[in-house]
Structure 1
Amino acid sequence: MRGGKGIVVLLALSVLVGAVGCGQQADIRAPKSEKAQEAVAKARRFDPAVLRADTPEAIDAEFAARLADKRKAAEKLYREEDGKRILKHKFGETELPDAPVRIVCIRMEDPMLALDAPMVAAYDFPQYYLHDRLAARGIMRISINDENKTINLEQVQGAKPDLIVMRDSFGKGVYQDLAKIAPVAAFDLRDYERSLLALSMVLQRPADGEVRLLQFYDRAKRDRMRIKGAIGDSTVALLRIMNKEVRLYPYATNDINRFMYELLNLRPPQMVVDIDGNDANNAISLELLPELGTDYLLINAGFGPSSRQNSAVARKRFEAMQRDPLWQSVPAVRTGRMDVVNAMIWNAHGIISKEMAMDALADWMEEHGQ
């Protein structure tokens, strides 16, 4: 009977590993194609093998260069010619109205609030990290169906906008439908700093955009010095728990955690560096996790504002993972240097969400540092 029970336990464990692992046997550290290596070289703002200084002077120099780059990138999106104001975006170009008053905002609430810009309607829901700020302004709610990525056009039309500001993560058909109602300014919010500056140009408030971005960099500088004072050059990695797989996010080629390494100068473990430019989606099997070798491990178990219905499934998956002996062998788990971050905030894009993520991380690191 004992032997039979042992077989059952082993079978159950193998099922659990299959359930919480990525389902792929390929090593995500495998050599990358030449094209992928070129993409990695382009994406890396800093060499992960080179230690960077964390003095106020060094950080100020870094962020000054970053601001100059973001300003130049934003200026490529916006131009004025023949008395017209034009924004270039994923779907084409939009001729912008002068001094728009009735602005409808769709998934660009973060930069709009960061600029203290007026909105007559915006995307919102009770669990949204921006809900309290939007509700305090009495802004009309625009509904979005996350299953099929559609927007309630009747609500948009009812707001009588003279400008619609939207994130470009929707399909072209959605953009075209909105453009029939009012001019649409679309932005790639994954590059939240460039989008903030470009949005400030669209709103004819470019100086406000730079001032707000400088405030953001000051916040990043403060949190960076707090974190590095607590953990020094210890390594930090982010693991994303999703519905059907677990992903280890790379050093420079992921929009969710790039700020950790670029703005906060956190040190990546070698595996995180090695998977940069991986041709797959960075899904990792539990068997590889003990080799991760990171001093601190951050867990992102859930989804952001656009896929919140899947978060409960991701959290249950993480609960199952924590019962697996393989999980208990992960170094950062054994030492208690693991933090479960707020998925809604970490998976969002915008300087407000990043400020919230950085502040919370600095608080935790000061408490759990070496």
Structure 2
Amino acid sequence: MMRGKNILAAGLCAALLFGASGCGQPDIRGEKSEKAQETVKKLRRFDPAVLRADTPASIDAEFAARLAEKRKAAEKLYREEDGKRILKHKFGETVLPDAPLRIVCIRLEDPMLALDAPMVAAYDFPAYYLHEELAARGIMRISINDENKTINLEQVQAAKPDLIVMRDSFGKGVYDDLSKIAPVAAFDLRDYERTLLALSLVLDRPADGEARLRQFYDTAKRDRIRIKGHIGDATVALLRIMNKEVRLYPYATNDINRFMYELLNLRPPQMVIDIDGNEQNNAISLELLPELQTDYLLISAGFGPSSRQSSAIAKKRFAAMRLDPLWQSVPAVRAGHMLEVDSMIWNAHGIISRERAMDALAEDMERQ
């Protein structure tokens, strides 16, 4: 039997394109460093071994506590002092202008649109999941070079901003260059709930921020009840097909899929729990896939809006994988419980992207 599995694994490795990694990699379920274990402990909001209730009342209580926590976290970033409004962020502190009218937005389009905030210029491209909304507003486009993480400063300057809001995933040099044009408010978009509330404080619209976050939680509640009403406590995992590797995302230590388990209360399979805090960037050896005992398997083949890598290559790899007997021996695949999700949406960060991911997942689960 073991010999047969090895032959199947060799076949799948040979089938993958461009010499992709994944075969013969270290087992990501292995021992974790003390630092990794501390990170796991810090990020686990819930004990994965304990089943949580999905009644409307229990969800309301859970989300009320979450809102209070996010509000407190956002308020730590913003203060008013000696008549000045100040935002604390990754690069330092920024004194904010009062009532800014010309805002340039760089990779923070999701929360800005969620708040219906005005922008004179923003990052955009035709395949962007927010392209239609941005195009409808006639917003000037800001170009970004994703290879070297630089921004077209001439375009920013031409927009004549009195405030620039940006995601803090760029380097300090980019922040410094932008600060020569206008005050820059930087945010960690991976924590999209805190960012939404902090951004609303910067825009002097805190009530709008809280109202929009409550609306987001209403969406999560509705989709959670829909999904759990259909699959109950079945286990769900997310597998990502990339150009050169395959990643299995963990329970708590990755911001791409954490909402599945926290907001939607989906139950993780044991392997997903075991890889929390792994130090192999979540890259899974393909030989382990048949051991992934999950009831439902979500597949994201491609990349998000902050990457210019070709999703077409990832999709081609996935098409090759699906023909291989090893892939067909994965339990969820065998059971017909494999769902492909939109990689652009799932690899984005923001209130709108998460709403779209949850809505689509609820619809897909109900069609199963």
Q: TM-score, normalised by structure 2?
A: 0.95
Q: Does 1:157 align with 2:157?
A: yes
Structure 1 148/24 Cα, relative in aligned 2: closer, same or farther at 3 Å?
A: farther
Matched position secondary structure for 2:309 = helix
Matched position secondary structure for 2:73 = helix
Q: What is the one-letter code of the residue matched to 2:52?
A: R
Q: Does 1:168 align with 2:168?
A: yes
Structure 1 9/167 Cα, relative in aligned 2: closer, same or farther at 3 Å?
A: closer
Give me the whole-angstrom Cα distance separating, in 2, the residues matched to 1:150 and 1:23. 35
Q: CA deviation at 1:149?
A: 1.2
Partner of 1:299: 299
Partner of 1:97: 97
Give me the whole-angstrom Cα distance separating, in 2, the residues matched to 1:321 and 1:165. 41
Q: What is the one-letter code of the residue matched to 2:342?
A: N
Contiguous gaps of at least 5 residues in structure 2: 1-6
Partner of 1:235: 235
Deviations 1:76-130 (A, max 9, x none): 1111101111111111111100000000000000000000000000001111110
Q: CA deviation at 1:155?
A: 0.5
Contact preservation (8 Å) 2:302, 2:315: yes
Deviations 1:7-47 (A, max 9, x none): x9997655336945524531111121222111101100000
Structure 1 155/59 Cα, relative in aligned 2: closer, same or farther at 3 Å?
A: same
Contact preservation (8 Å) 1:20, 1:321: no
Instruction: Name which of structure 1's ranges 255-264 and 140-149 shifts more when overlaid on structure 2.
Output: 140-149
Q: What is the one-letter code of the residue matched to 2:14?
A: V
Counterpart mapping for 1:168-207 below 5 A:
168-207=168-207
Partner of 1:128: 128
Contact preservation (8 Å) 2:239, 2:248: yes
Partner of 1:4: none
Partner of 2:271: 271
Contact preservation (8 Å) 2:12, 2:326: no
How many residue pairs are counted as aligned between the two chains? 361
Partner of 2:58: 58
Give me the whole-angstrom Cα distance separating, in 1, the residues matched to 2:10 and 2:222. 50
Q: What is the one-letter code of the residue matched to 1:174?
A: V
Instruction: Name which of structure 1's ranges 79-88 and 309-318 shifts more when overlaid on structure 2.
Output: 309-318
Contact preservation (8 Å) 1:20, 1:317: no
Give me the whole-angstrom Cα distance separating, in 2, the residues matched to 1:314 and 1:109. 26
Q: CA deviation at 1:309?
A: 3.4
Structure 1 271/162 Cα, relative in aligned 2: closer, same or farther at 3 Å?
A: same
Give me the whole-angstrom Cα distance separating, in 2, the residues matched to 1:9 and 1:277. 29
Partner of 1:5: none
Deviations 1:270-301 (A, max 9, x none): 00000001122111111101111100000011
Give me the whole-angstrom Cα distance separating, in 1, the residues matched to 2:280 and 2:200. 36
Contact preservation (8 Å) 2:103, 2:165: yes
Structure 1 202/10 Cα, relative in aligned 2: closer, same or farther at 3 Å?
A: closer
Contiguous gaps of at least 5 residues in structure 1: 1-7
Partner of 2:148: 148
Structure 1 111/24 Cα, relative in aligned 2: closer, same or farther at 3 Å?
A: farther
Q: Does 1:346 align with 2:359?
A: no
Q: Does 1:290 align with 2:328?
A: no
Matched position secondary structure for 2:310 = helix
Structure 1 12/297 Cα, relative in aligned 2: closer, same or farther at 3 Å?
A: closer
Structure 1 229/95 Cα, relative in aligned 2: closer, same or farther at 3 Å?
A: same
Q: Does 1:328 align with 2:323?
A: no
Give me the whole-angstrom Cα distance separating, in 2, the residues matched to 1:47 and 1:262. 10
Contact preservation (8 Å) 2:23, 2:286: no
Structure 1 137/9 Cα, relative in aligned 2: closer, same or farther at 3 Å?
A: closer
Matched position secondary structure for 2:333 = helix
Deviations 1:56-93 (A, max 9, x none): 00000000000001011101111110111111111111
Instruction: Name which of structure 1's ranges 45-54 and 327-336 shifts more when overlaid on structure 2.
Output: 327-336
Partner of 2:83: 83
Deviations 1:297-353 (A, max 9, x none): 000111001114321221122122112211010011111111110000000000000
Partner of 2:215: 215
Counterpart mapping for 1:349-368 below 5 A:
349-368=349-368
Structure 1 366/12 Cα, relative in aligned 2: closer, same or farther at 3 Å?
A: closer
Partner of 1:258: 258
Q: Does 1:107 align with 2:107?
A: yes
Q: What is the one-letter code of the residue matched to 1:232?
A: G
RMSD, matched Cα: 1.6
Give me the whole-angstrom Cα distance separating, in 1, the residues matched to 2:16 and 2:132. 40
Matched position secondary structure for 1:29 = coil
Q: Any runs of at least 4 consecutive aligned residues in structure 1 with deviations exceeding 3 A, and if so which?
A: 8-14, 17-21
Contact preservation (8 Å) 2:12, 2:321: no
Partner of 2:3: none
Give me the whole-angstrom Cα distance separating, in 2, the residues matched to 1:178 and 1:189. 18
Structure 1 315/13 Cα, relative in aligned 2: closer, same or farther at 3 Å?
A: closer
Q: TM-score, normalised by structure 1?
A: 0.95
Contact preservation (8 Å) 1:297, 1:332: yes
Q: What is the one-letter code of the residue matched to 1:102?
A: R
